Amino acid sequence: MPRVSLLYKVVPDDRSSLYYSEYEYCVTLHISDASCLRDLKTVRFEAAVRNAKHWAEQEIVRNRRPVRHPWEGTAKESALRETRDILLEQAGEYKAVISYNVLSLYTNNRRLADQFVKLDNPGVRLHLVRQAVITRPAGVVQLQESKHGYRTYLRERKYSLDQRNLLLNFLDSREGTLRPCGALMAWLRQQPKYYMANLNYSRSHYFVDHDHPNEGTMISLVMPGIVRKTLPIQTTK
């Protein structure tokens, strides 16, 4: 049964397994420049913060707005530092996945979410707490209906614009045979702006539907290492 919290709602997430086959909860936080938290070691963390400040200032200059330090005197830096403190204190209690301004913490300790709420920092926003509920069969993708027999999920990896264009051309050339999700195509067609290097990263929720199980191999040949897994699609309608 889903747990109850007085600080936030825990949303049940029907799944075929625990998160990463290990964790019961997923705590999702919104924090500006969350990528600074990829490496919590002091030297790497401080360098990431300085770099984020620099590029934020450069964007102000490009947009011809009054030059002021966009970090000092705001909750942005304190949000990163206070979050880092909690993560260091709870080392070993979670798996962190960072995607641009989103920090997802997979854990078996639901009270980890309580600590971020109690920070009372406007720069740290608890977006969602999900609890894995095992209700679906393993090894398949269940859909009400589908025109295809298989779904290939992608890994979260960094790719250059040339590599993305290569994959885009491949998918465009296989229109009618492959059905990529809308988010994947939006990522491939979007051009990076200024310091937003996150646009170079594929996401683990991107997928491509297809009829032949070997299509996943073809995608791997175009972008080696991008395929996470290929599963059969099971219709329930």
pLDDT for residue 204: 86
Q: Can you name the residues that pair with 26 across neighbouring β-strands?
A: 106, 130
The whole-angstrom separation of Cα 204 and Cα 27 is 17
pLDDT digits (tens, 9 = 90+) for 31-70: 988 999 999 999 999 999 988 887 777 666 566 555 454 5
Higher pLDDT, 56 or 139: 139
Q: Is 104 helix (H, G, I), strand (E, B) or coil?
A: strand
pLDDT band at 1 (very low <50, low <70, confident <90, very high): very low
How far apart CA 131 and CA 145 sit, in angstroms, is 26
Where do we find the tokens 């290929």?
230
pLDDT digits (tens, 9 = 90+) for 74-125: 678 899 999 999 999 999 999 999 987 899 999 999 999 999 998 888 889 9
186: three-class secondary structure by DSSP: helix
pLDDT by residue (tens digit) across 142-196? 898 999 999 999 998 888 888 999 999 999 999 989 999 999 999 999 876 554 4
pLDDT tens digit string along 112-132?
Answer: 999 999 888 888 999 899 999
Residue among 168, 137, 158, 157 at smallest CA distance from 231:
137
Cα separation, 36 vs 106, in Å, equals 18
User: Which of these, 69, 71, 82, lies nearest to 37 by C-alpha position?
Assistant: 82
Answer whether residue 16 shows pLDDT above 50: yes
The packing angle between helices 111-119 and 75-89, to 10°, is 150
Helix (H, G, I), strand (E, B) or coil at 236: coil
Q: What is the DSSP string of 108-171?
A: S-THHHHHHHHH--TT-EEEEEEEEEE-S-TTSEEES--S-SEEEEEP--B--HHHHHHHHHHH
Q: Write out pLDDT tens, residues 212-233.
A: 999 999 999 998 999 999 999 9
Where is pLDDT greater, at 2 or 84? 84
Residue 2 pLDDT grade (very low, low, confident, very high; cuts 50, 70, 90): very low
All structural domains of the chain with their residue ranges: 10-134, 141-235
Per-residue CA distances from 96 to 2, 43, 81 (Å)? 22, 19, 16
Q: pLDDT at residue 72 above 70? A: no
By the 8 A CB rule, do 226 and 202 touch?
yes
The pLDDT of residue 156 is 86
